[in-house]
A = this chain, B = another copy of it.
Amino acid sequence: MKISPLQKARYEYSPKLPGMLRNGISDICVKEGEPTQSVADQDKIKALFPNTYGKKEITFQKGTNTSVAKKQVVGVILSGGQAPGGHNVVSGLYDALKAADRNNVLLGFRNGPSGLVEDDFVEFNDEFINEYRNTGGFDIIGSGRTKIETPEQFEAAAATAKKHGLTAVVIIGGDDSNTNAAVLAEYFAANKLGVQVIGCPKTIDGDLKNDDIECSFGFDTATKTYSELIGNIERDANSAKKYWHFVKVMGRSASHVALECALETQPNICLIGEEVAAKKMSLSQIADYIADSVAARAAKGMNFGVAIIPEGIVEFVPEFGTLIGEINELLAGEKTEEFNALPTWADKYAFIKKGLTPASFAVFDILPEAIQKQLFLERDPHGNVQVSLIESEKLFSALVADKLEQRRKEGKYNGKFKTQHHFFGYEGRCAFPSNFDADYCYSLGYNAFMLIQYGYTGYLSKVSNLSRPAEEWVAGGMPITKMMNMERRNGEDKPVIRKALVDLNGNPFKYFEAHRKEWSENTCFTFPGAIQYYGPTEVCDLTTRTLALEKGTMSLDD
């Protein structure tokens, strides 16, 4: 077998473009809006981007194409973690570029931005592109996490551009990659190299969004895949009635994925990192919050349930952050050797007790032993605790078990608490893009070419009005600098795209907040099922509840 039946069928899918882009390249005109300002730190950002700052927002419309014809040689780069739809950005870009002029050239730089630096590339043709249409993954050219930052890297990138006669580079990536795209655009402009740079907003984490970018691509497909699995587990839990399932989902710096999955599946518990941070919740408080649900359900005879845990949750718990800091301090430099020389865990434990503040030791003390050991024994090359390795789903189920035993002794709980653990991340990053992501990504790529043709640089390809049918989508572009502010990174102030955390005053969280008590004590599970690419439009074309709630196509009362 070379390809699956679904892959074969998906090759035939024609992604839907925004209505304004449907009449052919020669019938797309541009409408310029007002000049833009960065969201904060305007003077600093302007000083850093003198050639690309303050440009106008633009929108495309139906009308005669007024761009100046020239041969385009465009390079495309996939940057960072995989997200469903990346291949469609490339195919949309390719189709627009070839529709404008068959002699235009699209090059793919391999394995991320390093491909541009190292001139590792492939030239696309129809046959090549056709094997990747509407498919998941970034295997078309691979991806990578290199940033173009040093003078040598900039010069190498410029040399590659010169060698191929590049007129533009399209960078498909998350907030960091698009920040890098803006820096590269400024470099090319400052040096008058005649190479435009356009970014496309990608990340399953959903944390690249703002007033202009309604959502990053891949979030829809990834959350639908995780929600499929969580729904299946819920149905299993409600059939077998004997397990509490603790499901960790990807998302380290923001809890958008967990929240969307909760809106799709109505689990008993979903932790939201941003809320934990805002309320300065302790591990003990979180465990009590979950134990309350377990106990309330047990009192009704329901010794089962489902809890969604965001991957990065412990990093939002203030006391845990303090503990990690103290541990890193405690074992800094030579002290690691002293610690390692202690013969038994009991000796090490005494050393830890002596070295931590009483507050942090109290936090350490309630952790399950396996995690206590992990904190001290599995450290990164710099000697730091590897927070990302902590299995937070197991941490919380263990803490909850302790709470329940305590309550049992106090006569407040008399249930059973058997657990199963799951982690969903890699399962969703390379799924076949949903129709929404297939359409959105194809439009982003197609639109990126329009921005190139009209001479823009330092822009993010922007497609909006996404909670409506594709016909009504609005295509255009926004200067990346508009989304930037200055932030402290590794001890330096850096211009970066502001990361979007879950807004505790936003409708998605408010909807969750209004329903979660009912969900926690009763069984209100909903089962989204597998992503459908065919069938009724409400089954196969709708995007996330997060977007529907943000844009008002779903109300808080629904």
Question: Interface residues, chain A, CB within 8 Å of chain B?
Answer: 1-7, 9-10, 81-82, 111, 135-139, 142-143, 225, 228-229, 231-233, 235-236, 238-241, 245, 264, 266, 344, 420, 422-423, 426-432, 526-536, 538-540, 542, 558
Give A143 to B240 CA distance when docked, in angstroms: 7
Q: How far is the CB of A391 from chain B (nearest CB, A)?
A: 11
Does A532 contact B533, Cβ atoms closer than 8 Å?
yes
Q: How far is the CB of A431 from chain B (nearest CB, A)?
A: 5
Does B532 contact A232, Cβ atoms closer than 8 Å?
no
Give A558 to B1 CA distance when docked, in angstroms: 7
Interchain residue pairs A-B with the least CB separation, the first 8: A534-B535, A530-B530, A235-B430, A137-B235, A6-B529, A138-B239, A534-B534, A236-B430
Among candidates B1, B241, B427, B540, residue contacting A229 with C-beta atoms closer than 8 Å: B427
Among A136, A239, A422, the one with the most B-chain Cβ atoms within 10 Å of its Cβ is: A239
Which residue from chain B places its CB closest to the CB of A229 in the assembled complex? B427
Does A427 contact B233, Cβ atoms closer than 8 Å?
yes
Give A427 to B245 CA distance when docked, in angstroms: 11
Q: How far is the CB of A136 from chain B (nearest CB, A)?
A: 5
Give A507 to B10 CA distance when docked, in angstroms: 29
Does B539 contact A9, Cβ atoms closer than 8 Å?
yes
B residues less than 8 Å from A231 (CB atoms): 4
Among candidates B139, B423, B540, residue contacting A239 with C-beta atoms closer than 8 Å: B139
Among candidates B81, B426, B526, B534, residue contacting A4 with C-beta atoms closer than 8 Å: B526
Contact A426 to B5, CB < 8 A, known contacts A143-B240, A239-B143:
no
Among candidates B3, B228, B344, B538, residue contacting A5 with C-beta atoms closer than 8 Å: B538
Contact A82 to B239, CB < 8 A, known contacts A232-B431, A428-B232:
yes
B residues less than 8 Å from A9 (CB atoms): 535-536, 538-539
B residues less than 8 Å from A236 (CB atoms): 82, 137, 426, 429-430
Instruction: Return 13 A-B CB contacts under 8 Å, by A number.
Output: A1-B558, A3-B526, A4-B264, A6-B539, A136-B232, A136-B235, A137-B238, A138-B239, A142-B239, A225-B232, A530-B530, A532-B533, A534-B540
B residues less than 8 Å from A529 (CB atoms): 4, 6-7, 10, 431-432, 533
Does A530 contact B235, Cβ atoms closer than 8 Å?
no
Q: How far is the CB of A141 from chain B (nearest CB, A)?
A: 10
Among candidates B1, B266, B533, residue contacting A1 with C-beta atoms closer than 8 Å: B266
Give A82 to B239 CA distance when docked, in angstroms: 7
Does B430 contact A232, Cβ atoms closer than 8 Å?
yes
Q: How far is the CB of A260 from chain B (nearest CB, A)?
A: 13
B residues less than 8 Å from A233 (CB atoms): 426-427, 430
Does B429 contact A232, Cβ atoms closer than 8 Å?
yes
Q: How far is the CB of A531 from chain B (nearest CB, A)?
A: 5
B residues less than 8 Å from A528 (CB atoms): 4, 6
Does A4 contact B136, Cβ atoms closer than 8 Å?
no
Give A528 to B9 CA distance when docked, in angstroms: 11
Q: How far is the CB of A270 from chain B (nearest CB, A)?
A: 15
Does B1 contact A526, Cβ atoms closer than 8 Å?
yes
Among A111, A228, A530, A540, the one with the most B-chain Cβ atoms within 10 Å of its Cβ is: A530
B residues less than 8 Å from A536 (CB atoms): 5, 9, 534
B residues less than 8 Å from A538 (CB atoms): 5, 9
B residues less than 8 Å from A430 (CB atoms): 232-233, 235-236, 239
Among candidates B232, B344, B427, B535, residue contacting A533 with C-beta atoms closer than 8 Å: B535
Q: How far is the CB of A369 from chain B (nearest CB, A)?
A: 12
Does B142 contact A241, Cβ atoms closer than 8 Å?
yes
B residues less than 8 Å from A3 (CB atoms): 526-527
**9 other A-B residue contacts (CB within 8 Å) besides A232-B426, A422-B427:** A3-B527, A5-B536, A7-B527, A82-B235, A139-B239, A232-B429, A239-B430, A422-B426, A431-B529
Give A143 to B238 CA distance when docked, in angstroms: 10
